[in-house]
Amino acid sequence: MRRTSISLLRGADTIGGSCIKITHGDASIVLDYGMPLMASGGAQLDSEAAKKPSISNGILLDITSDGKPPLACIISHAHPDHYGLVDYLPENIPVYTSEAAKVLMAVGNVFFPPALQVNRLDSCLSFKPGKAFTIGPFTITAYLMDHSAFGACSLLVEVAGKTIFYTGDFRGHGRKTTVNDYVLNAVKQPDILLMEGTTLDDGHPATFPSEQSVEQALVELIQATKAPIFVAGSGSNVDRIVSLYRAAKRTGRILVVDLYQMYLLEQLQVFSKGLPPHKDDHLRVFYPRSQCTTIVEKLGAEVLYRYQARQIKRDAIDYSSDKYIFRLSNSITKSLCKNFVEQNKAPELVYSMWQGYKEQQQSFSDIEALVGKPWIYIHTSGHAYTKALKELAEGLQAKKLIPIHTVKGEEFSQHFDNVYLMKNGEGLEL
Ligand SMILES: [Zn+2]
């Protein structure tokens, strides 16, 4: 009889860079293959090693340690810590991801620096959430999850009567909370549940419990100030862009985004018609020169013409007015803030991402110094807080719950039943 086993190649004691191998007889598949964000146990990653990934420096993983390449690599969502190493896979190993994740990666290939691009994207295969597909002996069904990456999916793998459910990254407090109920209806008592536990560390405070509370805090801030507002946030966190769009609408402000953001929203509208922009709305587009050049080179000038009716030029901005909310890069934020400050209209600064990025980038303090006001923190995590993790674990009733994408695996048993701790590289026979 063929043996079925699972091993965590990485992710047992780190956030980011998770990689799971599921083996049945001679056949295997790999789930996620991203760039690690930290070294084992949360230690600082060697940034030089990350620039030149290899198996010997520990960035690449020996996914063919048994001499047999996996049949496929399946990517849960379009965050670099989940897909960032796929270009290093042998060409003959197909890569699968959701249609929406593929679109996000394609947009990244236009606008992101080379290290965040996926060269082999054209040959990547895509799946539809909820529609099972087979790879060798494995049947895989992806389920849409509520996460800060549009199109993020969990993955149910069925093989030889065994079921393995991998949550990928998820939360329960965004704009798609009902998808967790959908998962609970579709997945019953898997043999293995691999569940993320990002927020169990101290670096993900639940200051704002939900995306709705973020929108409300933005509305209240806008109503209480007579200043323009600059928001630092991830452009690919579409839930957050929707919060900004709605907060601007509720307060009668104009939301100004850059070409990257506009193009991204347009590309995602095939998946969700409710996404902005809408006809005759309050969304305007700023054309940064570097993005214009990139678009002309990679997409064609017609893309620039497409948004012309919404274009707001640098010298058409009223720098004595408080009618705007901007979400732009730090360099453009800085230059526009300078113009407002000169008109005695010092903007409010809103920081709407994971705190860690602010500490890593000097430009945030430069903007603070220029404006003379601190960044106001309005953010909710892209990852589930303990309550939502418990609800999922209790609802699924897995025979074994294996912590992944966490530095607090040893704390799982305080919150959840049937916890089974695995070490990186260790195998478990099912
Ligand atoms: Zn993620």
Residue 406 has pLDDT above 80, yes or no: yes
- How far, in Å, CA of 13 to CA of 40, rounded? 6
Residues 364 and 232: beta-carbon distance below 8 Å:
yes
The residues placing their C-beta within 5 Å of ligand 1, an ion, are: 79, 169
**Ligand 1 center to 18 CA (angstroms):** 11
Q: How far is CA 364 from the centre of its chain?
A: 21
**Ligand 1 center to 138 CA (angstroms):** 24
Tens-digit pLDDT profile for residues 134-180: 999 999 999 999 999 999 999 999 999 999 999 999 998 888 777 78
Whole-prediction pTM:
0.94
In the prediction, which pLDDT does 14 show?
A: 94
| Bridge partners, residue 283, by sequence | 255
**Ligand 1 center to 299 CA (angstroms):** 27
Collapsed DSSP state (helix, strand, coil) of residue 197: coil
Tens-digit pLDDT profile for residues 268-278: 999 998 999 99
* C-alpha closest to that of 22 among 194, 188, 198: 194
- How far, in Å, CA of 342 to CA of 91, rounded? 55
**Ligand 1 center to 80 CA (angstroms):** 8
Phi, psi at 164, each rounded to 5° = -125, 125
Q: What is the DSSP string of 232-301?
A: E--TT-HHHHHHHHHHHHHHTPEEEEEHHHHHHHHHHTTT-TTSSP-TT-SEEEE--HHHHHHHHHHT-T
**Ligand 1 center to 149 CA (angstroms):** 6
- Strand (E) or helix (H) holding 186: helix 178-186
**Ligand 1 center to 143 CA (angstroms):** 15
Q: What is the DSSP string of 32-75?
A: -----SS-GGGPPP-HHHHHS--TTTTSS--TTTTS---SEEE-
Residues 379 and 366: beta-carbon distance below 8 Å:
no
Tens-digit pLDDT profile for residues 265-319: 999 999 998 999 999 999 999 999 999 999 999 999 999 999 999 999 999 999 9
**Ligand 1 center to 77 CA (angstroms):** 7
- How far, in Å, CA of 240 to CA of 274, rounded? 14
Tens-digit pLDDT profile for residues 102-120: 999 999 999 999 989 999 9
Give the least confident one: 2-11, 58-67, 232-241, 246-255.
58-67
When pLDDT is cut at 50, 70 and 90, the band that residue 83 belongs to is very high
- How far, in Å, CA of 421 to CA of 245, rounded? 42
Phi, psi at 249, each rounded to 5° = -65, -45
- Give the alpha-carbon dihedral of 75, 31, 149, 416, to 10 degrees: 170
**Ligand 1 center to 98 CA (angstroms):** 14
When pLDDT is cut at 50, 70 and 90, the band that residue 375 belongs to is very high
Sort strands 348-351 and 229-232 into parallel, antiparallel or unpaired: parallel
- How far, in Å, CA of 321 to CA of 274, rounded? 30
**Ligand 1 center to 97 CA (angstroms):** 14
